[in-house]
Amino acid sequence: MSKTSKILDSFLVISYQRGNKKALEILVKRWNKRLCIQAYRYTKDWDLAKDVVQDTWHTVITKLFLLRDAASFGSWAMTITSRKALDLIRKNSKTRKIYESHVLVNNEVETSPIQTQEEQIGEILKMIPELPFDQQMVLKLFYLEEYSLKQISDITGVSINTVKTRLFRAREKLKSIIKNKEDEKRD
């Protein structure tokens, strides 16, 4: 998140807290897609993700007046989304089965000897579902969403050291997966 985005979010939160309803509309437009993507990462189902985000917005609207640090709106909303998605997964075993089948289906990776950087990144992204779920989330939040370790800690509800450990293990596991794929191609 850029500093400018955080400043704008802070301004919008403070404006809403002072009674400007239009500020909430702008926050929803700025954050709804990101929250849907976050929820989808957990649920692997767009309809469920949209339900989670709708529930998230209900919570955000009712508790936004209690948010003291307006600059933390993004990580706060992402945390609410993540926790609501996890609650839904815990309550709905069907969602868990959909997620597990999704991981099994998306494990295939094809690479050519000469790849552009974009193709290599695409191949690595296809390998992420092979990682344990907690490592997937940390990788995506750190590299794709560009959150800080502190923000990831807030979103996931674990300590910064746990985030660092998961990030390290995810990188190591990805290296191992890439090496195994390359070895398979040589054989």
Quick: pLDDT tens for 131-187.
888 888 888 888 777 788 888 888 888 899 999 999 899 888 888 888 887 777 776
> What string of DSSP letters covers 4-48?
HHHHHHHHHHHHHHTT-HHHHHHHHHHHHHHHHHHHHHHHS-HHH
Which residue, 13, 14, 57, 18, is CA-closest to 34? Answer: 57
Contact 63, 54 (CB under 8 A): no
Domain annotation for the chain: domains and CATH numbers = 1-105 (1.10.1740.10), 108-187 (1.10.10.10)
- Residue 145 vs residues 56, 105, 177: alpha-carbon distances, Å: 19, 24, 23
Whole-model pTM?
Answer: 0.55
> In whole angstroms, what is the distance from residue 183 CA to residue 179 CA?
6
